[in-house]
Amino acid sequence: MENNEADIILIQPFDERDQDGIENELRYIAEHTAMDFRFIPVKIKKWNSELSPWNAPPVFGNEGFGNGAADTLEKIKELCDDRNRSYYLGGYSLAGLFAIWAGYQTDLFKGIAAASPSLWFPGFDDHMKENTFHSEAVYLSLGDKEEKTKNPVMATVGNRVREAYEHYKEQGIDCTLEWNQGNHFKDADIRTAKAFTWLLNRRKENEGRK
């Protein structure tokens, strides 16, 4: 259940599109895990800028991508000042990509919850291969219709997610890949909840083995 005194902290960047789903997300997590957790939402004002690791041209519409991820990560680190607690970072879409990227920048996060992450992001596949991932576990998911798009960049997302899963397994990182029904805009709240839930239940199982 959600508990502000819990030693497990779930951190999630979100914007106004996610606002209405947060309650559903928390309810799902509480119903599907026995672990106590504290949830910290981090409001993002400029989605394409504040969550992007580097500049990239538009892939849909006219808005390109900035390089504000480093600044956002520094703000999130300020929420993680008690090293006696365990921190998990996650999010949906570009926030999921940001969470994965953050796992390469710091060992602060025990696990990464990446629901339908934007792994089509230009250059990110090379970044993954050339750098070291520091989190001990990562959850990946995708909708089964997400790669079936006419947009040539976004159509790569299916293969990118499959490649990421295989890459993490080869690196000895505990990773799972779950396929959901629907396109990118279906059940974002529940998909994100399932990502965090997997990490919490994995921790519960590991504690039970000790």
Q: Is residue 185 part of a domain?
A: yes
Whole-prediction pTM value? 0.96
H or E element, residue 111? strand 109-115
Q: Is residue 48 part of a domain?
A: yes
Report whether 194 contacts 31 (CB < 8 A): no
Query: Radius of gyration over alpha carbons of the chain, in Å?
Result: 16
pLDDT at 92: 96
Q: Provide the number of structural domains found in the chain.
A: 1
Q: Is residue 2 part of a domain?
A: no
pLDDT at 166: 97
Q: Is residue 3 part of a domain?
A: no
- pLDDT tens, the chain, 210 aa long: 778 889 999 999 998 777 778 999 999 999 999 999 999 999 999 999 999 999 999 988 888 999 999 999 999 999 999 989 999 999 999 999 999 999 999 999 999 999 999 999 999 999 999 999 999 999 999 999 999 999 999 999 999 999 999 999 999 999 999 999 998 889 999 999 999 999 999 998 887 765
Q: Which domain holds residue 121?
A: 8-209
Q: Is residue 39 part of a domain?
A: yes
Q: Is residue 173 part of a domain?
A: yes
Query: What is the rounded CA–CA span in Å between residue 37 and residue 1?
Result: 6
Tokens of 121: 């992001």
Q: Is residue 167 part of a domain?
A: yes
CATH of the domain at 13: 3.40.50.1820
- CB neighbours of residue 39 within 10 Å: 19
